[in-house]
Structure 1
Amino acid sequence: MQKHGYFLGIDVGTQSLKIGIYNHAGKKFYQDQQPYPTYFDHAGCAEQDAEDWWAALLTIMNRAKSEVDLNQIAALAVCATSSTVLLTDTNGRPLRRAVCWMDQRATPQEESINSVEDAHVQDILQYAGGKVSGEWMTAKSIWFKEQGLLTKGRYLFEQLDWFNFRLTGKRVASKCNASCKWNYIEGKDGFSPLFFEKIGFHDYTAYWPSEVVKVGGKIAGLTDHAAAQLGLKKATPVYQGGIDAHVGMIGSNAISKGKMSLITGTSFVHLIHHHEPVFQPGLWGPYQAPLVDGHWLLEGGQLSCGSLISWFFKEFEEGVKTNGKFNQLIAECQDISPGSEGLVMLDSWQGNRTPYRNPHASGGLIGLTLAHSKYHIFRAILESTAYGTKHVIETFQKGGITVDRIVAGGGGTKNELWMQIISDVTGISIETTTDTETGARGAAIIAAYGAGYFTNLFTAADQMVHISKTYSPNRTMTIRYQDYYQLYLELNRTLFPVMKELRHLSPI
């Protein structure tokens, strides 16, 4: 295999679509992003227009052609949010807005699935951490069905699958997504018809892709139409990607045992590999080899992180997030002592993933006085997400999983104060990579591996990922944060019943 050509990684995120173009050594030749809106029509609802995603890709590729010779792109792969679910006709044309991963309308379906008292169902669910989430493809699909939206001639796509279909004309699922969000277990023959019958979705095969392709497997070449739209060569090979955060694990080279991948975006995702299955309450998984053969994956997560910063700017800074405003904000927050001078915020504004798995959880800010300013609130946001990450790590450790170091990727790594606070709160060093867009880089690494430039993903990540900075914990700060962290835990336990009652008073 000759060592030239570029690899295109496409990351279809919550707030924007991002691309990166790299060579086999990991040198970045082009990076760009294009935003699109999310529609929050009412509480618990979050939707997007799929055509906005595709238009964002076309816009970026049109800009890229003046900077890079797109004819040199040898292969590409895509990662995307999960589970953002789209209803289409048989030609893949959207019939309504896509239901985003953060949408909570499938909470009743989640509770119904998890309450099924059947030995086979419980056996399958133990590989999902004992429960499904209302965020997932399984629960959302049943929600679509119970809304009367699933009829003959209609398909359900995850965001990733729809993109791959637009690129290649092939309707396939990713083993990454299927293993983590669709109750697919490789060691139990994939999808279990009996499981889906028991939970009320016996006809799943009529709406879901029937073929599951592992990460790095070839899907097909670009169709002539897609190639012309994107300005790429005809039949450029497309290799299977996966969930954006999970592919970011590859893009930050955090796929070895002992390294925890922390993807910092709209939400936080915590991922770590292990050589055997570990069944630990409060974690998602163990997932069987969703990324790499022979490696079990455990997952933790926080639903509201970067979205809290976006909320802050919308409410306190007129929605404008300039470098000047941001730098001033960080400077003001650095002068505030740990604990935000008596404030503790709860980060579960859209529910709690790990370890409570509580869709009724919401946010809270305790300790406010007239002496506090918006800067105290902003620092409290940063600290709340750090407390949540510490709680996730402690849940890993309860299962006997060692977390030696954290490798962080995503847009949150640009905020150095945030990274230092997380290191101080957790007491663990954090490494960041030269490229914050680890999803796009991870997808490009998958493309290079799929195209045969590397024998495995470990070698590919070693060569194509470079560490730029390490944040070491200040032990004095770690000790000071411990009391605030204990208050954070106590407030969660105390206020969750109140939060559930508030949700009942204002139902979704």
Structure 2
Amino acid sequence: MVSYALGLDFGSDSVRALLVDTQSGQEVATHVVYYPRWAKGLYCEPARDQFRQHPLDYIESTEQVLAALWQKAPAGAGQQVIGLSFDTTGSTPVAVDKDGVALALKPEFAENPNAMFVLWKDHTAVKEAAEFTDAANKAQENYLKFEGGIYSSEWYWSKALHVMRSDASVAEEVYMWVEHCDWLPALLTGKSHPEQLPMGRCAAGHKMMWHESWGGFPPNEFFKAVDPILDGLVERLPKDTYASDNAVGELTPDWADKLGLPVGIPVGFGAFDCHMGAVAANVKPGVLTKIMGTSTCDITVGTYQDVGDNCIPGICGQVDGSVVPGMIGLEAGQSAFGDLYAWFRKLVNGPAKQLIAQAPYIDEATKQKLAEDIDEQTLIVLSEEAIKFAPGQVGITAVDWVNGRRTPDADQTVAGAITGLKMGSGAAETFRGLVEATAFGARAIIERFREHNIAVDSVVAIGGISKKSDLVMQICADVWKCPIDVLESDQSCALGAAIFAAKIGGAYPDVASAQEVMASKVCKTYQPNSENSAIYDQLYQDYLALGAFVNGSK
């Protein structure tokens, strides 16, 4: 009898649903729905680094994406789903009340951005992140030693503290903060109440300072010393956390009816998108899985013997079971990758799009179509021109920190920089310099792993950029000096979620068995060019020097 696993991937802009045949591993149907409020730019202030998402965007999009999926899937497929799992961006927490209701779902908070999910890319909490880092460094037990030693403004506690300091109404009403990847499974299984809420290992270990060695989370006194406004919050969190090969509970009748799924199927513990993407990529020691999108997230794993008590500084955590059971999951990443290219596109397209918008002789529909065409074609044209240059030929060095630096050594106060511009520097030359900068930023992460005896022998790339740009991928292979495999699946993160769904649904005894059948195949491999790599070794030193200057002058 045919059975299906369902993976839902909640990205920055949209939710993607993927239906997979558990026996053949075939990706049967997929659909994408964009968040309507987010698409309008609501509740966000980019100039202030504020990025918020309304919980209704997630709820409504979940219903819409599955309704559309069943139109594409074989008849009756919804009733043959045996398990459902989620992945989300992170850290993306939301304030909930004493009944577990997200504050933005209450009428009095419905239009308050502080009552909404604080998206991973929200950097309003730089000051608070520094306070947590300072407190951990002064504590008898350094609660950040398994999270790279530096707390980030992209993470749970700094965001919670910043919002509570900024908004007394939220601070008064909040009972608990819940990560997006924990909130969704709890919602669908009827376990949103704080007394019932279970938590996944991934978010807790990588962003919330959870670790078994100190019995869960740091004590209340640690948080209270940072700011008394945090008093009691940590005591409301469960001490136990669970890997994603476990089920949170069963799908409730109400949600089963809304989503067209069987009542009572298991719903898995959620995790961050990059971690589940790595599962779809058959992650293993020595292989770095790189999710290449607006930002990047780098995931690898190590055995208990290989990692041991080795605390790697400047990364986004090392957590037992956060990726696959029985191994230490290690995370790093860049705060901007595709976002840097998008910034440059906006920069070069701005005047032309403004002229089009102001043209009195063009109707509105045509204006919109012209603007969309410009955006769609710009990076393609720039790539076609930039690929004609040899390494070092453009003479431009850039630093990729336009959205701060995630790793190595989190610092959201730093900024991007470009040097070497001359009268002959055109858009294509500058674009190539930016592409090289993102490759250098990724190399700094790889070298940090290697410096601390975590092998990176090859890279598996996931995400839109890996399938769209030969220029970017070949430069990366040359800079990293290792082969890069690109996965065939266009929905690798959702596929990872589906693999966990197949396991919790009983199709496989463990995740490894499910991966053997369901993990994505490789569609293309980029090999490094040794001559180019030798040149990039020298240019990388220029990148490091410019980065040191930016660090010193901030």
Give the TM-score, by structure 1 length. 0.92
Give the AA of the match of 1:11. D
1:301 maps to: 333
Q: Deviations over 1:99-141 (max 9, x none)?
A: 1111112111111111126765543221111222121112222
Match of 1:393 in 2: 446
Q: Helix, strand or coil: the match of 2:460? A: strand
Rounded Cα–Cα distance in structure 2 between residues aligned with 1:287 and 1:199: 24
> 1:325 deviation in Å?
4.9
The worse-fitting range, judged by mean Cα deviation, of 137-146 and 471-480 is 137-146
Which of 417, 420, 427 aligns to 1:364? It is 417
Letter in 1 for 2:202: C
Secondary structure of the residue that 1:212 maps to in structure 2?
coil
For the residues of structure 2 that align with 1:104 and 1:78, how far apart are their CA atoms?
Answer: 25
Residues 261-280 of structure 1: matches in 2 within 5 Å? 261-275=289-303, 276-277=307-308, 278-280=310-312
- Between 1:147-156 and 1:158-167, the stretch displaced more is 147-156
Provide closer, same or farther for how the CA distance between residues 117 and 220 of structure 1 changes in structure 2, counting only shifts above 3 A. closer
Match of 2:95 in 1: 87
- Is the Cα contact below 8 Å between 1:273 and 1:297 reproduced in 2? yes
Q: Which residue of 2 aligns with 1:175?
A: 201
CA deviations over 1:365-406 (Å, ceiling 9, x no partner): 211122222222222222111001111111111101111111
Stretch moving more, 200-209 or 96-105: 200-209
Greater shift, 4-13 or 448-457, is seen at 448-457
In the alignment, is residue 159 of structure 1 matched against residue 180 of structure 2?
A: yes
Paired residue for 2:245? Answer: 216
Residue 503 (structure 2) aligns with: 449
- C-alpha distance in 2 between matches for 1:490 and 1:356: 16
After TM superposition, the structure 1 stretch with the greater mean CA deviation from structure 2, 431-440 or 224-233, is 224-233
Q: Which amino acid aligns with 1:320?
A: E
Unmatched segments (≥5 aa) in structure 2: 110-114, 192-196, 354-370
* Alignment partner, residue 51 of structure 2: 46
Aligned-residue offset at 1:223: 1.8
Residue 460 of structure 1: how far off its partner (Å): 1.9
Quote how far apart the aligned CAs of 1:188 are. 2.8
The structure 2 residue matched to 1:23, chosen from 1, 21, 24, is 21
Q: Does 1:260 align with 2:294?
A: no
Query: Post-superposition shift, 1:221?
Result: 1.7
Moved more, 440-449 or 430-439: 430-439
Give, as a single letter, the amino acid of the residue that structure 1 aligns with 2:545. Answer: E
The residue aligned with 2:372 is: 320
More deviation, 54-63/324-333: 324-333
Question: Deviation of residue 464 (structure 1)?
Answer: 1.2
Distance 1:299 1:121, change over 3 A: farther
Contact 1:382 1:418 in 2 (8 A): yes
Per-residue CA deviations over 1:309-358 (Å, capped at 9, x if unaligned) read 22233333456367655543332221122236111121111111222322
The answer on whether the counterparts of 1:313 and 1:320 sit within 8 Å (CA) in structure 2 is no
| Conservation of the 8 A alpha-carbon contact between 1:303 and 1:353 | yes
Aligned counterpart for 2:516 among listed residues 462, 473, 479 = 462
Aligned counterpart, 1:475: 530
Question: Contact (CA 8 Å) 1:186, 1:288: kept in 2 or not?
Answer: no
Task: Report the residue type matching 2:157 in the other structure.
Answer: T
State the 1:287 CA deviation.
2.2
Q: Which residue of 2 aligns with 1:67?
A: 72
- Correspondent of 2:6 among 1, 8, 14: 8
Query: Does the CA contact (< 8 Å) of 1:241 and 1:247 recur in 2?
Result: no
Of 114, 123, 134, which aligns to 1:115? 134
Aligned to 1:503: none
Alignment of 1:331-370 (within 5 A): 331-339=384-392, 341-370=394-423
Question: Quick one: which amino acid aligns to residue 421 of structure 1?
Answer: I
Which protein shows a greater Rg?
2
2:409 aligned counterpart, secondary structure: coil
Q: CA deviation at 1:212?
A: 2.9
What percentage of residue pairs aligned between the two structures are identical? 27
Greater helix content: 2
Question: How many Å separate the matches in 1 of 2:340 and 2:236?
Answer: 35
Partner of 2:356: none
Structure 2 vs 1, CA of residues 173 and 44 (structure 1 numbering), >3 Å: closer, same or farther?
A: same
Q: Which moved more, 1:122-131 or 1:37-46?
A: 37-46
Match of 2:121 in 1: 102
Change (3 A) 1:373 1:111: same
Aligned to 1:490: 545
Match of 1:505 in 2: none
Tell me if structure 1 keeps the 8 A contact 2:301–2:323: no
Residue number in structure 1 paired with 2:357: none
| Aligned residues: CA RMSD | 2.2
Matched position secondary structure for 1:284 = coil
385-394 or 464-473, larger mean C-alpha shift: 464-473
Counterpart CA distance in 2 for 1:323 and 1:176 is 35
Amino acid at match of 2:187: R
Displacement, 1:490?
0.2
Q: Residue 13 of structure 1 aligns to which amino acid in structure 2?
A: G
Q: 1:411 to 1:459 in 2, by over 3 A?
A: same
User: Is the alpha carbon distance of 1:289 and 1:120 closer, same or farther for their aligned partners in structure 2, counting shifts above 3 Å?
Assistant: farther
Q: Secondary structure at the match of 2:490?
A: coil
**Corresponding residue SS for 1:157:** strand
Go from structure 1 to structure 2 and tell me whether the alpha carbon gap of 1:153 and 1:303 turns closer, same or farther (over 3 Å shift).
closer
Give the stretch that moved more between structures: 207-216 or 136-145: 207-216
Q: Give the 3 Å change call, closer, same or farther, for CA 31–310 of structure 1 in structure 2.
A: farther
Distance of 1:182 and 1:361 partners within structure 2: 23
C-alpha separation in 1, matches of 2:139 and 2:61: 43
How far apart in 1 are the matches of 2:90 and 2:261?
Answer: 27
Instruction: Verify the 8 A CA contact 1:300 1:392 in the aligned structure 2.
Output: yes
Q: Write the letter of the residue equivalent to 1:35.
A: Y
Q: Which amino acid aligns with 1:460?
A: A
The alignment covers a number of residue pairs equal to 496
